[in-house]
A and B are shown apart, each in its own frame.
Chain A
Amino acid sequence: ELKVEQNPLFLSMQEGKNYTIYCNYSTTSDRLYWYRQDPGKSLESLFVLLSNGAVKQEGRLMASLDTKARLSTLHITAAVHDLSATYFCAVHPDYGGSQGNLIFGKGTKLSVKP
């Protein structure tokens, strides 16, 4: 059974600082997603990572994937208040199932304070 673990689960940052959220998964996967969720809102897709060594960046967020270590990171550079949200990683297992059968981590609740 595929397990996805994120850490930390809660993160309080000061504006302007850098930090990294980690996502470990327990079995092989053919793709990994990062999503953002604002309180009471739906999920917004941030990144899709499809291969070992993949790196994607948008604004102050950069995601990377190491399939050998079964690890993805979401790096936050010079955090701003607008980045406050809960961030989920989700993994699609290699053993198949529906294309939408993503296994989600529990999420990292990020709070950026001035």
Chain B
Amino acid sequence: SQTIHQWPATLVQPVGSPLSLECTVEGTSNPNLYWYRQAAGRGLQLLFYSVGIGQISSEVPQNLSASRPQDRQFILSSKKLLLSDSGFYLCAWNSRVEKLFFGSGTQLSVL
């Protein structure tokens, strides 16, 4: 069966510091991978998606970037965090038109 791992679970970072969140998927090949952000009390916003190694599409302009160095690995990064980057970050995967399967999430607080 397929599983998705996301870490860390919580992160507190000062403004201006770098960020690296990692997500890996097991039990499937060539998944579509996604990073979503959920601001407090709001719905989810798609940040990045990837349909293959090295292929990244950005849905919104922002202070963040994403990379897919391996088929089942998706990384969310920032060189300098802003206060507005705080939120709950969720990695997700699917195959073709299937429903999305979400990771356990990372609660990021930028202080």
Residues of chain A touching chain B, judged by Cβ–Cβ distance below 8 Å, are: 4, 31, 33, 40-45, 48, 88, 90, 98-102, 104-107
Complexed CA–CA distance, A106 and B39 (Å): 10
Query: Which 5 residue pairs are nearest across A and B when measured between Cβ atoms?
Result: A104-B43, A100-B34, A98-B49, A104-B44, A42-B102
**Given contacts A98-B51, A101-B59, are A42 and B46 in contact (CB under 8 A)?**
no
Q: Can you list 24 residue pairs at the A/B interface with Cβ under 8 Å?
A: A4-B43, A33-B99, A40-B107, A42-B102, A42-B103, A43-B44, A45-B99, A45-B101, A88-B43, A88-B44, A98-B57, A99-B96, A99-B97, A99-B98, A100-B32, A100-B46, A100-B49, A100-B92, A101-B49, A104-B43, A104-B45, A105-B43, A106-B43, A107-B42
For B32, B98, B100, which residue has the most chain A Cβ atoms within 10 angstroms?
B100
User: Which residues on A sit within 8 Å (CB–CB) of B104?
Assistant: 41-42
B90 on the interface (CB 8 Å rule)? yes
Distance, CA A105 to CA B44, complexed state (A): 8
Structural contact, B97 and A31, CB atoms closer than 8 A:
yes
Q: Which residues of B contact A41 (CB under 8 A)?
A: 104-105
Interface positions of B from 29 to 69, Cβ below 8 Å from A: 32, 34, 41-46, 49, 51, 57, 59
Docked pose: A88 CA to B96 CA in angstroms: 22
Cβ A102 vs Cβ B46 within 8 A = yes
Q: Which residues of B in the span 85-111 have a Cβ within 8 Å of any Cβ on A?
A: 90, 92, 94, 96-105, 107
